[in-house]
Structure 1
Amino acid sequence: MSDYNRTDFTNPSTFILRGIPGLEAAHIWISIPFCAMYAIAVLGNFSILFIVKTEQSLHEPMFYFLCMLAITDLVMSASTIPKMLSIFWFNSREISFTACLTQMYFVHSLSGMESGILVAMAFDRYVAICDPLRHSSTLTNSVVAKIGLAVVLRSGILALPYPFLVRQWPYCRTNIIPHFYCQHIAVVKLACTDIRISSYYGLFDLLFVIGMDGFFIAISYIQILRAIFRLPTKDARLKTFGTCISHLCAISALYVPDLFSSLMFRFGHNVPLHFLVLISGVYHMVPPVLHPIIYGVRTKQIRGRLLELFTHKDT
């Protein structure tokens, strides 16, 4: 590893990923829960996609958005966790400069897509509760597809500056990244120049996406709560609000780890590095694992279809 500690280069051909710095001896043990979570995420999200595809009654806007979320979660976890496991199991630490930039781009764009899909799901809940008679005419298949395209374009465009800025910086210190993937802040800190533009843009992107999406979600739920409180009975209010619980849990599963991880990496200067990297790993696994569990448990149609599949399998 000492060969990589100090070299003279402008753009390295490869970076070296350390995994979780300071916990290299425990990599095998750490890999066990991450491997289990990855398996659960893959199985859970593919189950959601299979059930929605095969069950005609689930061909509705909410479940289309849920499928978009499942696909995003699958690609997000696949963009980082397999490389992490290859580091832990096979000591495969090298990643090319181009692959590093590509991974960085996908992580940031997919994170923005997840947030945008949650906004779309909030809009679906708003229309379903506040204007149920126009739900089918408002959220047609064409509108759902256009919303999905807008989410992809917005996230893809906002993520473009990350690799372009990283590519232009000179790297003359080291090519060892103290992380298990090409995290933006971890990479730009290796540059031997003023990186404030990259740092400020990363903070702007985080606050802009979460701020804007959080604002629209909050507006949707203010209107939803107003409609719920106008319902005549307590049971009706609880039943209607129950249709939003899954979405609220999904929001918490994405935003809380995302904000915590991003802000800790920027401002947690006295926090041990291995703790920061572990938190980042948890952030990458929590939403893909929890989203299918949340919707599988809370959504009657999906839960019933799952039970039906397992019952038929047992018989």
Structure 2
Amino acid sequence: MNLEQIDYLLEVAKEKSIRKAADKLHITPSAISQSILQIEATLGVTIFQRSNKGTIPTSEGSIVLKQAFELQCKFKELYEGVKGIAQGSLSVPLRIAFTPTFGNVGYNAFMALKAEHKELKVEIQEGMHEEIMETIIKNNGAFDIAFIVENRNLYAYDDLFHIEPLYSSYVCVAVGKNSSLRSKKFLTTADLTNESIAIFETATHRELVKKTGLEDNSVFVTSNNSFLIRKVVKDGHAICVLDDFSLMNHPDTLNGEIIVLPFRNPHYIYREMWAVYPKDSAKNENVMNYLNTVKNLIRQGCPLEALG
């Protein structure tokens, strides 16, 4: 018994008429009759009997129809599952990785995507830049897409990955709302000489601190906990260097608890933000939707030229 025959059986049971079922299915009544006779001969039971009430299931037929309905559901579930996998499935988790730099944008992009695709399963890993890089290199396919700060070493693997520069970020400094620096248009190394700094425990962030000339400042705390870093900044204990979009639309900046100011040393400091994904991910609709959502969110940030 195939899916087509199951559809015939269930439609006849629903309409209580072979002719009406045939009209609904756009086939001839004789085709349905022949199909039912074939199933009855195979199973050795009579499924329907005619009466003044129409074509009605027999007691054995009711059992067959119940099983046929369950099979129909299973067939449809199987079909949708296979179709989904081929098209970038909602049933296969979307695996995303990003560094703390992308944490806020990555989360907002995730929420925007889930609002449109509630069934979408997503696995997110926020990790240190070095860890994500190592995983990308050693295990192609561990992530459907990863967001990292530029790393030229990945060009050696461009036969395996798409490396897409997303944005030339400029470095900023996060200060608390009560900081004496909060009203400045931009900050320089000289402005920050006496400030304690909070550092993310990554080689990438330490390099960023070095680029700003703040490596000799007193360190208030070193941590891989982004909440703790924000907390010490909000409470006025330290400043933190970061990328311009890192806290975009974050509650701490929206409510004024943290002020993000551009940094110059003496010029603005830029670094590229990359999306890295296996070649096959380019065919995955969900991956591309997520990537485009991230791009749109980044575009919402204030461009440097608008700062005057």
Q: Give 1 or 2: higher strand fraction.
A: 2
Between structure 1 and structure 2, the one with the greater Rg is 2
TM-score (norm 2): 0.21
Q: Whose RCO is larger (CA < 8 A, sep 6+)?
A: 1
Give 1 or 2: higher helix fraction: 1
